[in-house]
Structure 1
């Protein structure tokens, strides 16, 4: 991924020693939490590569947990996030894997609450930025720097045309799209990054579309690109 300006490299205002191992981890946890939709009862975090070797020293465990609590990168409660999660009844586990991964700073988060389960893999790529590479078994790449919609649907002709038509009718420009499917005419998922905030009434229209089985959305910046 190319950075657009020097501020993307320097990173955001943050609590912690590292924009990639701390601020990026907060953002990753926050993205997972927002896409899950509710406060999870359990979160299982796996660190790979560089994160596996240094996560305790750089506070990456506290950072991911802070994101799962919906904290921002500069929240002064980040150092207490593990205790705060425990007080809220959210169990957080950590595991390390030293083998090769898609990026030296790769991590996964699996969230649970009752029968609900959500899995996300991605990397912290520097400057507090992240890149998600997999969601719930689908190979989907996105950054969450823009308002983002994930649509789960059957792989049928016209589904994406219906979704994009709704966005177009609402005056929303699509900046990026990625699609993956389990098999031909099987389960599929599409991620769309947009230039404008998607409103609740539009989400309801997406939900009612034929062959759409679910969706999740996230907007960390109030419609303003990061």
Structure 2
């Protein structure tokens, strides 16, 4: 840990690790939009380096965390920090990851650090979620129509994996929808591909837990 607060340093690293897992592919550029306490102290408390380190796959106890900026530039990751106005509805240590992925996709992930290294993600793009990195989680975007949940869970069951929890949401009936399925084990690539090939599935992410 490189700063004086576990929520500002360890939490920042772990939160970025989870955001990286949500992205599921290399990240070309990211704008860290910082809220509340993060916005006020991100430079002095090591939050900035922790956030970059997590996206590079460095863990909390990695000696290379202080060198995160230099390593990111060497790897071609473009990053910047934008402190935002105070947002009382957010927890004190909040960051919005505004990411550009390798394939050009824009992905926004809203995350929070709660102290003691505990973190959670509350929003992916415009969808409310609750990801804490404790379980491998299948995240998918799809067109809302009957049978989508059944088809998805059938493939998971055929892979022999138990579902811990399932959350789904939609903008409006018959429009874009979102599903997050927490699993006892990470789903195998073949099953993920089978789910991706279900009709009207826009994107699937196999989000591993963080250690």
Q: TM-score range by the shorter chain?
A: over 0.9
CA-atom RMSD in angstroms: 1.6
TM-score by length of 2: 0.92
1:123 pairs, out of 112, 115, 132, with 112
List gaps (5 residues or longer) in structure 2.
none
Q: Quote the offset at 1:172 in angstroms.
A: 1.2
Whether the 8 Å CA contact 2:111–2:123 is kept in 1: the answer is yes
Q: Quote the offset at 1:171 in angstroms.
A: 1.9
Partner of 1:107: 95
TM-score by length of 1: 0.87
Partner of 1:204: 193
1:93 pairs, out of 80, 100, 121, with 80
Alpha-carbon distance in 2 for matches of 1:158, 1:114: 29
2:7 partner SS = helix
Whether the 8 Å CA contact 1:177–1:191 is kept in 2: the answer is yes
Give 1:54-73 correspondences, 5 Å limit: 54-73=41-60
* Structure number having the greater helix percentage: 1
**Equivalenced residues, count:** 209
- Cα displacement string for residues 37-87 of structure 1 (whole angstroms, at most 9, x for unaligned residues): 333221100111111111111100000000111111111111110111112
Whether the 8 Å CA contact 1:25–1:64 is kept in 2: the answer is yes
Of residues 166-175 and 71-80 in structure 1, the stretch that sits farther from structure 2 once superposed is 166-175
Q: Quick one: structure 1 residues 142 and 220, their matched pair in 2 at CA, closer, same or farther if it must change by over 3 Å? A: closer
Partner of 1:218: 207
Whether the 8 Å CA contact 1:39–1:69 is kept in 2: the answer is no
- Cα displacement string for residues 104-155 of structure 1 (whole angstroms, at most 9, x for unaligned residues): 1111101114622111001111221111111122112211211111011111
